Amino acid sequence: MMKKKHFERRHLVELLMKTIMRIALIIVASSLGLILWTIISRGLPSLTWDMVTQIPKGGYYMGKEGGILNAIIGSIYLASGGTLIAIILSLPIALYLQAYAQDSKWGDYVRLSLDVLWGIPSIVYGAFGFALMIMLGMRASLLAGIIALALVELPIMTRAMDEVIRRMPKDLEHAALALGSTKFEVAVRVVTRQMLPGIITGVLLAFGRGIGDVASVLFTAGYTDRIPTSLMNPTASLPLAVFFQLGSPYPEVRERGYAAALILTIIVLFVSFASRWLASRLSKYSVK
């Protein structure tokens, strides 16, 4: 005869663990809500049109007129430049890993070093960039910031691409090889087209990381109230604008720092949603 549900210890433990796990999930998920709520509720009141359309005027850092357009533009320049350089490096690396080194020892080393690079904190990239700049006699500039960001973004982008391309169905590739294509042609024609969603995900992920990164540009890009007109100009960036304004003794300026944090959050969330949307849209057109 079958025993009915009876509360042995192990069933109590089961119930208990499941409940604790649910609570843990709720805590983790609600921390996102708390963060967003804090940023929105404190940032929104001081967010003005001027902030996103003007550069700092004379007394901006004492609470007078102006905005942080310089930082917004600067960040977009920095992250776009960094992303561009990172694409030029990562796309071939990711394709090589897939086309030539899928299960090779060398492929493992490259992946290992990319993962390790991913783990290196951006402050170290910043310090490295700074060390290079001293050696080369360079000054803080848009270009130096772009290079530092490219290094930060490279492993993120490459590994994201690599992971997505890895999931590509293998028969398609073999079919193309069987039709007489060389591996290079397979890589470029089939893989790129098939994996466009993955590539875009990787690129936007890296861009999002780049635009929010502080520690690497702190040393390398400098800070200025002007919008850079050349690669050799120093440039402001949005995360640094947040950071500097929060350090101000003027409450109005700190309030604007919160608003700047809100702007940054909106940009990053937008990029994140865009990549999700694009990836799901584009994947409709590829063979699954």
Partner 1 sequence: MNQTLSKISEDIKSHRTKQDLFASRTFFVLTVFPVLLIVIITVALYLRAQPILSEYALTDLLYGEIWKPNQGLFGFRPFILGTIWVTAVGVILSVPACILVSIYLAEYAHARTRTIAKPILDLLAAIPPVVYGVWGLLSIVPFVDDVLAPLSKGRLDSIPILSVTQPTGFGILAGGIVLAVMIAPLIISVTFEVLSTVSNDLRHASLGVGATQWQTIRNIVIPQTLPGIIAAVVLGASRALGETIAVLMVVGNVPKIPTSIFDTAYPLPALIANNYGEMMSIPLYDAALLGAALVLLVVILIFNILSTLVLQRMLRRK
Partner 2 sequence: MLRVTRYKEKIMDAHIQVKNLNAYYGKQLALKDINIEIPKNQITVIMGPSGCGKTTLLKTFNRFFELTENTQLTGEVLVDGENIYNKDIDVTEVRKIVGLLAQRPSPLPMSIYDNVAYGMHIHHMRKNREEYKDGVKHYLEIAGLWEEVQNRLNEPATSLSIGQQQRLCLARGLAVEPEIILGDEPTSALDPISSQHIESRLLDLKKQYTTIIVTHTLRQAKRLADYVIFMYLGELIEAGPAKEVFSNPKHERTKQYLEGLF
* 178 counts as binding partner 2 under rule CB under 8 A: no
Q: How far is the CB of 4 from partner 2 (least distance, A)?
A: 5
* 2 counts as binding partner 2 under rule CB under 8 A: yes
| CA angle (83, 205, 32) in 5-degree steps | 140
Q: Which does 3 bind (CB under 5 to 8 A by kind): partner 1, partner 2, none?
A: partner 2
99, HSE (Cβ side, Cα atoms, 13 Å): 20
**Cα Rg of the chain (Å, integer):** 24
Q: How far is the CB of 107 from partner 1 (least distance, A)?
A: 8
Residues 8-67 interacting with partner 2 (rule: CB under 8 A):
10-11
Q: How far is the CB of 284 from partner 2 (least distance, A)?
A: 21
**Host H or E run for residue 250:** none
Which of 32, 229 has the CB closer to partner 1? 32
Task: Tell me the site size for partner 2, rule CB under 8 A.
Answer: 8
| Contact between residue 200 and residue 280 where contact means Cβ atoms under 8 Å apart | no
Give residue for tokens 């960036």. 237
Produce one character per residue of 28-48: b if its CB has 16 or more CB atoms within 10 Å, e if not: eeeeeeeeeeebbebbeebbe
The stretch near partner 2 (CB under 8 A) out of 4-12, 156-164, 181-189, 202-210 is 4-12
Which of 3, 167 has the CB closer to partner 2? 3
Pull the structure tokens for residue 137. 């006699």
Site residues (vs partner 2, CB under 8 A)? 1-6, 10-11
